[in-house]
Amino acid sequence: MTIVIFSTLLLVINCVPQEDKYGKTRDEIVTEQIENRGITNQPTLDAIRKVPRHKFVPPDLIENAYDDRPLPIGYGQTISQPYIVAYMTEAIDPKPGQKVLEIGTGSGYQSAILAKVAKEVYTIEIKEQLYKKADHLLRSIGFSKINTRHGDGYFGWQEHAPFDAIIVTAAATHVPPPLIEQLRPGGRTMSPSTMAIFSVTWASPRAWSEERRCTRLVRWPPSVSVLNSTSSVPDSPGSSARVLTL
């Protein structure tokens, strides 16, 4: 009888989804790492609670998946810390009926978070190995509706434009004109540099405003595309805003 009961308990334990093991951990990081730093967008917070971040890190780093720091994912790239992913998501403020473009798929974690808060997600990765890995992972864990592509994100994804929001997840020296042109009027893009995050919002069909906000929270992996070819923003840290006409 004892052996039967013990075997039954083992069976029950093994049937509990692995995600449940980290459910409490995700709740804790939302409270301690994200809400306590000022993130209030509820859909973003809910997405962080639901997406299994540990699925997006290398096997030897699973126990560190929810640490408050970026982690290497290979090929010179990292998965950003949970707070930064939440910060970037809240900044572009995607809505349930909107279409979002992500430049730099990386691990696929940011793509999954966006898929929880937006209707359509398109993501481009320039490194073929990362693209293939992220595409396979996203489909295997239920994110088959995320549209993935291997290519240089500098040129965006014209066939599916316009986008309500565009998020660039690698350091860039400027906001690429093709991305600006693929934004829907009233849309927003966030593009980090090594010391700043940019937001661009359309002011009219032919004019847009750009705001640069300084941050010392993180250093971003450099972009390997032509995003770093020229600069159209101030080089000095601090805040600035301007209106440009296309």
Active site residues: 80
Do the strands 163-168 and 196-204 form a parallel or antiparallel pair, or are they unpaired?
unpaired
Q: Please name which of 239, 226, 205, 83 lies closest in space to residue 151, comparing C-alpha atoms.
A: 226
Sequence-separated (6 or more) residues with CB below 8 Å from residue 29:
48, 66, 68, 82
Sequence-separated (6 or more) residues with CB below 8 Å from residue 218:
70, 80, 81, 84, 192
The residue length of the chain stands at: 246
- 162: preceding bond cis by omega (within 30 degrees): yes
Each residue of 107-119: b (16+ CB within 10 Å) or e?
Answer: bbbbbbbbbbbbe
Phi then psi for residue 67, to 5 deg, are -70, 155
**Residue 110 structure tokens:** 């940011």
